[in-house]
Each structure stands twice: as C-alpha cells, then as structure tokens.
Amino acid sequence: MTMTSHGGVDTSMTVTGHGGVDTSMTVTGHGGVDTSMTVTGHGGVDTSMTVTGHGGVDTSMTVTGHGGVNTSMTGHGGVNTSMTGHGGVNTSMTGHGGVNTSMTGHGGVNTLMTPHGGVNTSMTGHGGVNTSMTGHGGVNTSMTGHGGVNTSMTLTGHGGVNTSMPGH
C-alpha cells in the first residue's frame, strides 16, 4: 500500500496478513495529523513500513508481528512516534528529531533504534538478541532491557540529558 498525503488529517492504514510475503506500506505524509499504520502479520516475510513523515503529529506503527522478518520504521521530525513489535527479526526504528519516540520489543532479534535529537526517547526490550540504541543529543533517553544478549546502548550522546540504561 502506498499513500502520499500532503496536509491530510486522520490518515490510517490497516494490514492483516497471515503468512504473507513482501507486505509493505509506504506513507509519505507532509504535515499530516493522526497518521497511523497497524500491521497484524503472523509469519510474514519482508514486512516493512516506511514513514517518511515530515512534521507529522501522532504518527504510530503498531506491529503485532509474530515472527515477522525485516520490519523497519523510518521517521523524520515526528511527534508521538511509536513502534511495538513482538518476536520480530531485524526490527529497526530510525528517527530524527522525534518527540516522544518509543520502541517496545519483546524477544526481538537484531532490534535497533537510532534516534537523533529526540525528546523522551525510550526503548524497552525483553529477551532481545543484539539489541542496540544509538542516540545523539537526546533528552530523557532511556533503554530498559531484561535478559538481553549482546544488549548495548551507544550514547554517542552529545549533550544528552537524563540518559539511563537499566539492564537486568
């Protein structure tokens, strides 16, 4: 599904795919309000969501992707941008200048979050393998990981405020 909206309000996309291959959603929204994408994919391969959302408000992606492969989210300047994935492989979130940007992953493999200049940026992972977070200049940047393997937080954090990584 490809959607290009300029100044759109309440733009949403819902994909429910069981065992689908190459399921993708692309949203190029400039100034959109309440842009959301929900993917409930069980066993999907190459499920990707590319949000090139410039200045979007309340841009969210809920990936209830059980066993999904190559699930990614890329957002620029989004407000309240979130990604929730369970059991994903190669799950990544790249956000620049996002406010209230969060990523919550359980049992993910190769789960990565790279934010630049984010405010209230958090990553919560349980049982993740190769889970990493790289943040530059973030305010209230936190990473909480339980039982992770090769779990790292690279605070190439220039001028970060209240940056923490509680790991058990």
pLDDT tens-digit series, residues 96-155: 666 667 776 666 666 777 666 666 677 766 656 666 666 655 566 666 665 556 565 554
Q: Is the pLDDT of residue 158 over 50?
A: no
Distance from C-alpha of 115 to C-alpha of 131, rounded to nearest angstrom? 14
Is 84:111 a contact under the CB 8 Å cutoff? no
Q: Is the pLDDT of residue 80 over 60?
A: yes
With respect to residue 21, please indicate whether it lies within any of the assigned structural domains. Answer: no
With respect to residue 74, please indicate whether it lies within any of the assigned structural domains. Answer: yes
* DSSP letter for each residue of the chain: -EEEEES-BS-EEEEEEES-BS-EEEEEEES-BS-EEEEEEES-BS-EEEE--BS-BS-EEEE--BT-BS-EEEEES-BS-EEEEES-BS-EEEEES-BS-EEEEES-BS-EEEEES-BS-EEEEES-BS-EEE-BS-BS-EEEEES-BS-EEE---TT-BS-B--B-
With respect to residue 27, please indicate whether it lies within any of the assigned structural domains. Answer: no
Q: What percent of the chain has a predicted confidence (pLDDT) above 90?
A: 0
Bridge partners (DSSP) listed for residue 49 = 25
Q: Is the pLDDT of residue 7 over 60?
A: no
With respect to residue 88, please indicate whether it lies within any of the assigned structural domains. Answer: yes
The number of distinct structural domains making up the chain is 1
Q: Is the pLDDT of residue 47 over 50?
A: yes
Distance from C-alpha of 118 to C-alpha of 33, rounded to nearest angstrom? 19
Among 36-40, 45-49, 51-55, where is mean pLDDT lowest? 51-55
With respect to residue 153, please indicate whether it lies within any of the assigned structural domains. Answer: no
Q: Is the pLDDT of residue 40 over 50?
A: yes
Bridge partners (DSSP) listed for residue 123 = 103, 143
- Domain housing 62: 42-147
pLDDT tens-digit series, residues 82-103: 676 655 666 777 666 666 677 7
With respect to residue 108, please indicate whether it lies within any of the assigned structural domains. Answer: yes
Distance from C-alpha of 86 to C-alpha of 91, rounded to nearest angstrom? 10
With respect to residue 76, please indicate whether it lies within any of the assigned structural domains. Answer: yes
Q: Can you give the pLDDT at residue 103? A: 72
With respect to residue 94, please indicate whether it lies within any of the assigned structural domains. Answer: yes
